[in-house]
Amino acid sequence: MSGYKEVRAKTGEDRDGKAFYKTIGRVMETKAGPMLKLDAIPLGWDGWAYISDPKPREDAKRSRDDDGPPF
């Protein structure tokens, strides 16, 4: 799926101050303009979110790096 951005919200921090983020939805380009689809709303969320390019999924990365038998 192309033409979309992921929406991420800060969900917490560890003891060292490193932030944790959760993907809560996506923004898709439509004929009528950008459309927002929220899949989740984190507890205690302050309403701020980041819109960014999608990150490669771990399972897709593993399948590309797999040197197993060719099927």
Q: Which pLDDT belongs to residue 44? A: 87
* 62's tokens: 């593993």
Of 55, 21, 25, 20, nearest to 41 (Cα)?
Answer: 25
pTM greater than the 0.75 cutoff: no
Please write the tens of the pLDDT for every residue from 25-57: 999 999 999 999 999 999 888 999 999 999 887
Please write the tens of the pLDDT for every residue from 9-21: 999 999 999 999 9
